[in-house]
Amino acid sequence: MEVRLQKLIAGSGLASRRKAEQLIDAGRVTVNGKVVTELGTKVDPARDHVKVDGKHLSAAQPFVYLMLNKPKHVMSTLDDPGGRPTVKDFLRGVSVRVFPVGRLDFDSEGLMLLTNHGDLAQALLHPRYHVAKTYLIKVKGILTDEEIGQLEQGVKLEDGMTSPAQVKKISKAEQNSWLEITIREGRKHQVKRMLESVGHPVIRLTRVRMGSLSLGRLGSGEFRFLTDREANALRGLVEERVEAVERGEQLPRRPRRPVRREGWARPKKKKVAQR
């Protein structure tokens, strides 16, 4: 059955649809030995030999994406000269070489994306594309609305003002509170430093979302491959941002809809066993 060339390349996992079009346009794709630059060209994968950069499409390494729920006290790198456990120790059975997209502190936990898709990783990390990362944090003390307002406006750190953050109250106890904070930058220890600057040191930090990805119910130390739908959504999000920046558009630094300031959730009532 015939399909459009860019669809075949994108379907192989080698590149997104847009990137496949660029590869064709740049003359990097051959069909039966001839360079093809026409985007609409139809090919039959059962009959035609398609090569990208001289490599047969079926021999090309497909992109692999997986998410790990990094436990505490694990390095977010692939190796550690100090001999501490790393994320690699948790990827048993993964034969493809994947790289962590960004860092989480040694004592932080949660969603880590690992992939062999270098361009996507770079774009997800570049502050220019404002990809959101959400952290569930437990902090010392209870933040006032004014302190939350400061975080939402941007706070002064030693390396400059932070961009506006989104903060959602989750729950509070006598000594501590739980919040969700979403930022679109990735400076070192950023969330901890932001909270420190308003007088509430972070006690526990878990990344729960990154772009369109959610950690969901993945257990600590477990990993799973992204579904096609998740991988496509992530690629779509990055492509959209990259294209917008290329068109010279200003990306929004805060959500389009204002966040409704909600109260703290009431502490959960303990269930009393019925006799």
What residues make contact with ligand URA under the rule CB under 6 A? 104-105, 108, 189-192, 205
Question: Smallest distance, Å, CB 200 to ligand URA?
Answer: 13
Question: Smallest distance, Å, CB 94 to ligand URA?
Answer: 23
> Is the CB of 69 or the CB of 108 nearer to ligand URA?
108
Question: Smallest distance, Å, CB 97 to ligand URA?
Answer: 24
Q: Is residue 107 flagged as an active site residue? A: no
C-alpha dist (Å) from residue 14 to 4, 98, 268: 15, 15, 48
Question: Smallest distance, Å, CB 41 to ligand URA?
Answer: 45
> Is the CB of 192 or the CB of 235 nearer to ligand URA?
192
Q: What is the DSSP string of the chain?
A: --EEHHHHHHHTTSS-HHHHHHHHHTT-EEETTEE---TT-EE-TTT--EEETTEEGGGSPPP-EEEEEEPSS-BSSS--TT---BGGGG-TT--S--EESS---TT-EEEEEEES-HHHHHHHH-GGG---EEEEEEEES---HHHHHHHHH--EETTEEPPP-EEEEEEE-SSEEEEEEEES---TTHHHHHHHHTT--EEEEEEEEETTEE-TTPPTT-EEEPPHHHHHHHHHHHHHHHHHHHTTPPPPSS-SSPPP---PBPPPPPPPPP-
**What is the Cα 217 distance to its own chain's centre?**
17
> Is the CB of 123 or the CB of 210 nearer to ligand URA?
210
> Is the CB of 13 or the CB of 85 nearer to ligand URA?
85
| Angle between helix 228-246 and helix 118-125 axes, rounded to 10 deg | 60
Catalytic residue among 53, 105, 159, 228: 105
Question: Smallest distance, Å, CB 190 to ligand URA?
Answer: 5
> Is the CB of 20 or the CB of 202 nearer to ligand URA?
202
> Is the CB of 13 or the CB of 102 nearer to ligand URA?
102
Question: Smallest distance, Å, CB 75 to ligand URA?
Answer: 11
Q: Which residues are catalytic, by number? A: 105
